[in-house]
Chains A and B, each alone.
Chain A
């Protein structure tokens, strides 16, 4: 029995030994309480001693923690509804306060969600929808971060940042957005088609104009050429025939007579004519 007692003693000693030290891991912080009363905080990793069984180590996360606040609906200044889904990153900087006020991560998340939602509500209500979606998003979130950061200090928490993951329209509004998008697209499509027709019409009109001008210029040149030809020929004829206008008349008449008859022509000749002057009277 003595031997059994020794073994039990050995076992008890082992447990006491084990419970009188604790290892802090990298990325952890802890507070130490003695029968529920706060003694001190441990911020650095390493091997520490404690009073066995009396002291309790409460370990907490030292790393940055992310909490994804469930999406909620907010009203903007221009009375539009916006669904946002903020993500907050924070870390425990004061383990005692943290432990006293929220105890653990899920408690902290619940409190932070409340703070962020109320800050967000205030900030979003002061801005128009389009600004929240676009350019003002970053400064707005910085504003929310600043305000929430101050309040979160009460829980021993430092907020790194608050960001909006989603900023969407509520589902019931989406339908109207789609309608607007469709209308806008059909406007753009119409514009393209009209522009196409406009351009085409312009090109055709230019073409027709160019064609008309080309032909008219050609006509101008042609008439000029014809005129020159006629003028020159008139001059040449006048110069030539001016030598003896009577002879010209004579020869041209003969040519005309000859040219205007054919074999069908019936010719009535008077014996009185010059041709037959020797018919009755062969004398000179």
Chain B
């Protein structure tokens, strides 16, 4: 506007043109009248009408101050006097901390844990505008503020946690606490944003030490493996030993029963024989003796009968007859 004003002071060229334009304008006013009205109306309409989509809210300012809030539909504002900002309050917005797309951003991702180790964390924040007025007029660059605050929150929570917890069991807690802290900060800044979800994507040791961490995992598995092998040994040995023990016991029991039964048998046999023997002691005794001798002698192939008178001189030649000689001195 200023520049136009300056140009105007330049000279007669423009004033002539203006004169000519106003001449023509005057001449044709009657015919142009309706057209001008139409053009003006169209201009007001295009500038004044605006649309608010589903899930959006229009914030109307009149002379710079917020005066109305409009919902989905077609609305009208007075051009120049009023302005409108349409803000989507339902779309879930998303930012990434520590990575962009599938590339890790080491400077943003690396952080110190409570026990002075370094981890790489990646986090996704989902949020939406919950208060469009605050979103527009209370905080400058709310989305940037959210990103910076997300980093603040994550680092603050990780800084209080030990590396083993961050990597394993404490992840859920880190996530919850980061979310709480982030929301607290965003409220403190009047951002009009509400965090709907904080997702800790990955918390890993940096590449430089990854191998050492994997080795710990392997060692833990090896430990389990060793224990399992030992348990396998146990499960192999004990049942076998139980079987063996049972066998030893049962064999001994069998021996006992056998001994007793045999003894009983022998005893019964002896008793029976003895009963009859005592009825005719001498005869039976002789008979038993002779019968035994008969059975024995019939089995033996070589028998030598030596007269008592030469018995003493015959002894030296006896070994020539063969082995297994059993001198028997007869009877009683």
Contacts and interface: CB of A to CB of B under 8 A. Distances in A.
Interface of A: 3-4, 7-8, 11, 15, 18, 23-28, 44-47, 61-66, 68, 87, 89, 129-130, 133-135, 137-138, 160-161, 163-169, 174, 177-178, 181-182, 184-186, 188-193, 195-197, 199-204, 206-208, 210-211, 214-215, 217-219, 221-226, 228-230, 232-234, 236-237, 239-241, 243-244, 247-248, 250-251, 254, 257-258, 260-276
Closest 3 CB pairs of A and B: A273-B330, A274-B331, A229-B256
Contacts of A24: 64-65
A240 B289 CA distance: 21
Contacts of A45: 61, 63-66
Interface in B255-314: 255-260, 262-264, 266-268, 270-271, 273-274, 277-278, 285, 288-290, 292-293, 295-297, 299-308, 311, 314
Contact of A233 (B263, B288, B301, B311): B263
B1 A189 contact: no
A262 B137 CA distance: 127
Given A237-B267, A267-B325, A211 B116 contact: no
Interface stretch (B31-39, B42-50, B216-224): B216-224
A169 B220 CA distance: 30
Contacts of A226: 252, 255-256, 259
Nearest to A269: B305
Given A133-B116, A236-B266, 10 more contacts: A7-B15, A15-B1, A46-B63, A161-B188, A181-B209, A185-B212, A251-B288, A254-B292, A266-B303, A266-B326
Contact of A215 (B22, B160, B209, B245): B245
Interface in B87-146: 110-118, 136-141, 144-145
Contact of A247 (B136, B234, B277, B302): B277
B225 interface: yes
A189 B219 contact: yes
Contacts of A61: 140
Given A18-B1, A133-B116, A189-B219, A182 B326 contact: no
For the residues of B in contact with A, the DSSP-based class is: helix
B295 to A, nearest CB: 6
B136 to A, nearest CB: 7
Contacts of B246: 218
A47 B118 contact: no
A269 B306 contact: yes
23 contacts: A15-B5, A63-B138, A66-B145, A134-B160, A161-B188, A166-B111, A169-B112, A181-B117, A188-B216, A199-B223, A208-B237, A214-B241, A215-B248, A218-B245, A229-B258, A229-B259, A237-B266, A244-B278, A261-B299, A264-B323, A268-B305, A268-B327, A273-B328
Given A66-B145, A203-B234, A274-B331, A218 B318 contact: no
Contacts of B29: none
A192 B159 contact: no
Contacts of B295: 258
A201 B160 CA distance: 39
A46 B61 CA distance: 9
Contact of B248 (A134, A195, A196, A219): A219
Contacts of B56: none
B302 A267 contact: yes
B63 A23 contact: yes
Contacts of A26: 61, 64-66, 136-137
Nearest to B271: A240
Interface of B: 1, 5, 8, 15, 18-19, 22, 61, 63-66, 110-118, 136-141, 144-145, 148-149, 151-152, 155-156, 159-160, 163, 185, 188-190, 205-206, 208-209, 212-213, 215-216, 218-220, 222-227, 229-231, 233-234, 237-238, 241-242, 244-246, 248-249, 251-253, 255-260, 262-264, 266-268, 270-271, 273-274, 277-278, 285, 288-290, 292-293, 295-297, 299-308, 311, 314, 318, 321-332
Nearest to B318: A268
B145 to A, nearest CB: 5
Contacts of A200: 226-227, 229-230
A100 B18 CA distance: 46
Contacts of A178: 118, 206, 208-209
B304 A268 contact: yes
B73 to A, nearest CB: 23
Contact of A195 (B223, B266, B304): B223
B1 A130 contact: no
B155 A166 contact: yes
B223 A196 contact: yes
A241 B267 CA distance: 7
A153 to B, nearest CB: 19
A258 B326 CA distance: 12
B241 A27 contact: no
B116 A130 contact: yes
Contacts of B326: 260-261, 265-267
A44 to B, nearest CB: 7
A219 B300 CA distance: 45
Nearest to A44: B65
A98 to B, nearest CB: 15
A210 B266 CA distance: 42
Contacts of A222: 248-249, 251-253
